[in-house]
Amino acid sequence: MIDSTLIVSIRFINSIVVKKRIMKIMLVYPPAQVEDTYSNFSFAAPVLPPLGLAYLGAVLEKAGFDVKIVDCVAERLGYKELLEAIREYKPSIVGFNANTISYPKVQKALPLIKKVNADIVTVIGGAHSSAMPRQVLAENPDLDVAVFGEGECTILEIANRLKAGLSLNNIDGTAIMSQEKIIVNNPRQLIENLDTLPFPARHLLKDLRTYSHTPLRGTGFIVSVITSRGCPFNCFYCDQSVFTRKWRANSVDYVISEIKMLKEKYGADAISFEDDNFALSKERVIGICKRMISENLGMKWSCCIRIDKIDEEILGWMKQAGCTSIYVGIESGNQEMLNSINKNLSIEQIKLALKTANKAGIDNIYGSFILGLPRDTKETIEQTINFACNLPLTGISFNIFTPYPNTKLREIASKFGVIKEDWKNYSDHAHFAPYIPNGITEEELLMLQKRAYRKFFIRPSYIINHLKYIFNIHFMKDAICALFLFFRLSKNRPKSS
């Protein structure tokens, strides 16, 4: 429990006077279970480690703070269990990482935490807070600090200020309430050299083996890694409030050192690079591949890559270095729709790139699509489904368009349909759709999503090509669940909340 000298919530004062002390900091991924995001599709949903919190934890530990990470998703914890963990650990700060889907869960947790101990300093960071820090602070009377942008230096400054008994005013990258007014401070400068960050504190996660990827992503113990931040592209559906559109990356040496550590310390069999665009720098990715080959790391791996970054040379090096899977954002099979979301890709470019990847011998190629975009019609959605089924893809994701805050597409979406304003409606695989385009009902849109999956996975050619997975227990379990989902009646579907 925080010392009794901290007697007033920081929302309503200009400074805080506390005795210097050893600080305990709890970092929390909120109780937004996988079902909240994927609903009926959760049987095949990945559960990835919260590396963002692990980076924060590493920076705080390096500075001498006592840190605990509670991942409510992986550990299947509800509010009761979270509050019990807080009572037992007695943190001075509880910091949440929240995206738009998990944000309502944080809202519910904040007043409960203050009931445990009103002096706990509550902090929210992540995508939702970065997109709208002022609104997040205004909506939550039990929130003390809203963090926007890159969080490592910001959380460290918050912790150091509290430890020293200093005010939380004027901290870059934060919004606070001071004398009944919301103050949004200056943005924090980006970390130019990502190599200055320690490796994520994965030891603070309960068990790396509790995390999972989709079954076709690989076998064995797969560990997630992030080697770059930011995205220079301007797709209208994407928000880059946290890391901005300035791309920064770890050096080849840093990446290879982290892979070696994961293999030696944790026994990793494979790596999943979670970068938005792992291959943005051709020189860097080829450098990583050459080192993986020359040092005989023997690791299988996968990554996300933009269609327009695919060529024979880069795929050749990736394949030789152990790459087995690539993930590409295709989004639509209609050129006008691609143009409307500023994807800067052509249908022919997509076909050629995937043909090149298939020829290069990449085992698994996964495509991601968005159904129900502004301007989408039943005809253009059908065109997208048919396009997907005729591409050389091993796996696929058909996401319902979600109008995330601070995105260009949200700004224009209301002209072409209805946006649901309640954040509880936000998910791309839920029982309901957060956005309904004109000319399509919610029921029709969700049925089109289900039909898209059924049409892709129940093709005879797809089944024949995947007979090799018949002895993969996880794959077969998911396949049985998928069959049940694809063919069951939709009349029991819950109504929108």
CATH superfamily label, 10-184: Cobalamin-binding domain (3.40.50.280)
CATH 3.20.20.70 fits 213-487, yes or no: yes
Q: Tell me if 14 sits within 8 A of 167, measured CB to CB.
A: yes
In this prediction, residue 494 carries a pLDDT of: 39
pLDDT tens for 91-102 read: 999 999 999 999
Does the pLDDT at position 7 exceed 50?
Answer: no
Give the whole-angstrom CA distance, residue 87 versus residue 166: 25
Residue ranges of the domains in the chain?
A: 10-184, 213-487
pLDDT tens for 148-165 read: 999 999 999 999 999 999
Does the pLDDT at position 492 exceed 70?
Answer: no
> Rounded to two decimals, what is the model's pTM?
0.89
3-state SS of 177-193? EECCEEEECCCCCCCCC
Q: Tell me if 413 sits within 8 A of 372, measured CB to CB.
A: no
CA distances from 128 to 148, 377, 395, 415 (A): 9, 29, 29, 23
Find the mean pLDDT for residues 22-43.
72
Strands 145-147 and 174-178 turn out to be antiparallel
Find the mean pLDDT for residues 129-135.
97
pLDDT tens for 287-343 read: 999 999 999 999 999 999 999 999 999 999 999 999 999 999 999 999 999 999 999
Find the mean pLDDT for residues 438-452.
94
Does the pLDDT at position 45 exceed 90?
Answer: no
Q: Tell me if 419 sits within 8 A of 454, measured CB to CB.
A: no
pLDDT tens for 176-220 read: 998 889 999 999 999 999 999 999 999 999 889 888 876 655 668
Nearest CA to 325 out of 370, 362, 375 is that of 362
CA distances from 30 to 153, 243, 497 (A): 22, 21, 20
In this prediction, residue 213 carries a pLDDT of: 76
CB neighbours of 79 closer than 8 A, spacing ≥ 6? Answer: 31, 108, 109, 112
Does the pLDDT at position 247 exceed 80?
Answer: yes
Find the mean pLDDT for residues 348-359.
96
Q: Tell me if 258 sits within 8 A of 242, measured CB to CB.
A: no
Please tell me what DSSP assigns to residue 428.
S
Please compute, for residue 26, the number of CA atoms within 13 A of its CA located in the half-sphere on the CB side.
23
Give the whole-angstrom CA distance, residue 203 versus residue 208: 8
CA 244-250-253 angle, 5° bins: 175
Bigger pLDDT: 458 vs 452: 452
In this prediction, residue 214 carries a pLDDT of: 67
In this prediction, residue 32 carries a pLDDT of: 72
Does the pLDDT at position 16 exceed 50?
Answer: no
In this prediction, residue 363 carries a pLDDT of: 86
Does the pLDDT at position 40 exceed 90?
Answer: no
CB neighbours of 235 closer than 8 A, spacing ≥ 6? Answer: 329, 331, 341, 342, 343
